Chains A and B, each alone.
Chain A
Amino acid sequence: MARKQTVRGRVSKPGPALQHGKYLFIVAFLLLPVGIYGLFVVSPYVQAIFISMTDWTGLTASQKWVGFDNYVKLFADEQFLVALKNNAILLVVVPAVTVLLGLFFASMLNVGRRGKSGVEGVRGSSVYKIVYFFPQVLSVAIVGVLFKYVFAPTEAGGILNGFLRAIGLDSIALPWLGDPNFAFWCVVLVMIWSFVGFYVVLFSAAMQSIPKDIYEAALLDGANRFTTFRHVTLPLVWDTVQVGWVYLAIQAMDAFAFVHIMLGISGGPSRAGDVLGVALYRSAFNDYRFGYASALGVVLLVLTLIVAVLFLRVARRERVELS
């Protein structure tokens, strides 16, 4: 038994017969995975940092070293600041709303019903869990195309405006994706729409592992739903919420497909819905400013790293252990 313990995680010392040929085996098994990863992932990342310090346009073989020029230009570029602001909005709004809705629906599905037999999930909760998860399995591209048409003007078949007109709200049947004030927020809504289901399922799994007698005790003490949620459910799923939050923040930083499809390569009307991913793609493959685009990529990386570290630090709380 004691041996098992030490073996876990660490590697057991193979016998002398196995020592023979061990290194050959290790090299044989690592060669292709590391090779392909190095070629297509590691080397581009390293090159990107180098390219970001050049003025490369892709047309010339030689590239001039310009140091931090691209970064200086970047922060003087108003369009970059628009994209940066939008990414900041995504970073705050999308995780906040998604986690709140996810927790709300998950707590209803799993512990939302108070009846004769104590606290339980609502009827049909397993069906809801299947349905809510639909957007998660669909390609972001499909979701983007679908909602491009949901928000389209009525004469292009837009169903939202069709619905608003049908119930007599003609005045708010706006050209959603064509309006600089709303275009980006439509994208935000669609992102939330497509993310919520996943977090409902994730939080549900965590809530299912809470013993039911804790709820019985809370009920006996006369705790209402909100108190029960605040003091029983939330602390016990906090670990999952925290991890989900970081994951969402990273997911929200990449709004490329949504914006590219729903608003186009320029980021929508007046470029108001621009995000960093789209700005990078545009600078590189439309304007051929590869150095500038790579500098944008480095900024995106730094932001992602900061977000990951920050969220993990801030969100960390005492872990509640169920014995």
Chain B
Amino acid sequence: MTTTVERPVDTDPAPRRRTGAGAGTGALNLLNGGFLLFWGLLTVLPLLWAVVSSFKTNTEFLSDPWGLPAVARFENFARAWTVANIGQYFVNSVIVVAISVPLTMLFGAMAAYVLSRYTFPGNRAIYFLFVGGMIFPVFLALVPLFFVVRNLGTIPVIGEFLGLNSLISLALVYVAFSMPFTVFFLTAFFRTQPTSIAEAAIVDGCSHFGLFFRVMLPMAKPGLISIGLFNVLGHWNQYVLPVVLMNEPDKKVLAQGLASLAISQGYRGDWTALFAGLVIALLPVLIVYILFQKQVQAGLTAGVLK
């Protein structure tokens, strides 16, 4: 997506000198570099401060906010994981995302495929029902959603697994709220796929189901990866839905648990455990991002550009 900006070194600079590149150019280039560096530091320093603080003692944290810790206190992480319950929150987040993302991808791809490839009465209506959800603020749905989920918990047999404070119902709610964008993105993607292969598969006696699972889904892999990364980050970082639907202390997800810890920790004064928790929460995401930065950037920006 990004092309390299570097050009081969010019062996004979003289003829390429431009009118615009005058005396002030060097100074301006330097100034530009300065602004860029400034914003870079502004981005990195708070994160670095969090990482360094997570290895300090609480005394060091207060008395010397800028210094390095005398000894790296790994026990902060142990305290965060067990005492501050970050371990439980982490596991909860993993469970929810492990359920919600594959389901979002499957349901999103199924709906998008049918909507993009088959004509039937009501096709447009269903498409706009999905896509319209992109503009609706989630807040409008919060109050009734709380009661819908609570009532699910009262249904016999399956109610045991659903309802408030159930990781499964939280995952299903994530799936539902991810449908608009996932369907929108994948519909556009399936439309660009050539029809000739589908036709060939049909001639070979492939069923509708076989065509989808064996031909179309593998072909849509690049689109599925982009939207998949988008959903992984979105679900992992979700805040308002768990705040409304999960209020039992052991059922909180990471982002939410960390925020409530930040509020209570203000009174208890164990800042470094809180920062260790913060680092536990931000490092996996940053590592995934750095490893897949091209795909993540493409996946997230595609959301706006499509």
Contact = CB atoms under 8 A, between A and B. Distances in A.
A301 B137 CA distance: 6
A220 interface: yes
A220 B18 CA distance: 6
Contacts of B192: 8
B95 interface: no
A139 B255 contact: yes
B191 interface: yes
Interface of A: 4, 7-12, 14-15, 17-18, 21-23, 25-26, 29-30, 32-34, 36-37, 39-45, 47-48, 51, 58, 101, 104-105, 108-110, 112-118, 120-123, 125-126, 128-142, 144-150, 155-159, 162-163, 166, 193, 196-198, 201-202, 204-205, 208, 218-220, 222-225, 240, 243-244, 247, 250, 253-254, 256-257, 260-261, 264, 276-277, 280-281, 284-285, 290, 293-294, 296-298, 300-301, 304-305, 308
Interface residues of B, number: 118
A7 B208 contact: no
11 contacts: A18-B208, A42-B129, A113-B32, A114-B28, A122-B36, A131-B44, A138-B286, A142-B237, A146-B50, A149-B271, A159-B46
Contact of B176 (A9, A18, A36, A294): A36
Given A40-B145, A276-B139, A11 B18 contact: no
B236 interface: yes
A75 B77 CA distance: 48
B20 A48 contact: no
A208 to B, nearest CB: 6
A109 B285 contact: no
B135 interface: yes
Contacts of A108: 32, 35-36
A280 B239 contact: no
A203 B266 CA distance: 40
A222 B39 contact: no
Contacts of B110: 29-30, 32-33
Contacts of A201: 297, 301
Given A40-B148, A45-B141, A122 B179 contact: no
B233 interface: yes
Contacts of A141: 237, 239, 255-256, 258-259
B214 to A, nearest CB: 14
Q: Considering residues B33, B39, B138, B238, which has the most beta carbons from chain A within 10 angstroms of its beta carbon?
A: B39
A304 B20 CA distance: 45
A30 B304 contact: no
B65 A157 contact: yes
B197 interface: no
B82 interface: no
B207 to A, nearest CB: 8
Nearest to B279: A142
B285 A138 contact: yes
Contact of A118 (B16, B195, B239, B274): B16
A21 B212 CA distance: 14
Contact of B135 (A114, A132, A250): A250
A178 to B, nearest CB: 12
Contacts of B141: 41, 44-45, 48, 297
B173 interface: yes
A135 B172 CA distance: 27
Contacts of B281: 139, 142
Contact of B139 (A159, A198, A204, A256): A256
B81 interface: no
B70 interface: no
- Dominant secondary structure at the A interface: helix
A220 B19 CA distance: 6
A53 B180 CA distance: 27
The 3 lowest CB-CB distance pairs between A and B, nearest first, are A139-B237, A40-B176, A141-B255
B212 to A, nearest CB: 8
A113 B194 CA distance: 42
Nearest to A12: B195
A297 B177 contact: no
Contact of A223 (B20, B239, B259): B20
A101 B19 CA distance: 28
A139 to B, nearest CB: 3
Given A29-B114, A34-B126, A222-B19, A140 B237 contact: yes
A11 B35 contact: no
B156 interface: no
Nearest to B64: A162
A109 B129 CA distance: 40
B10 interface: yes
B139 A138 contact: no
Nearest to A127: B40
B157 interface: no
Given A33-B111, A41-B133, A122-B36, A117 B16 contact: yes
Contact of B44 (A15, A25, A134, A304): A134
Contact of B140 (A21, A48, A157, A222): A48
Interface in B109-141: 110-111, 113-114, 116-120, 126, 129-130, 133, 135-141
Contacts of A197: 43
B202 interface: yes
B137 A138 contact: no
A87 to B, nearest CB: 11
B139 A300 contact: yes
Interface string B272-293: 0011001001100110111001
A145 B262 contact: yes
Given A141-B239, A300-B137, A285 B244 contact: yes
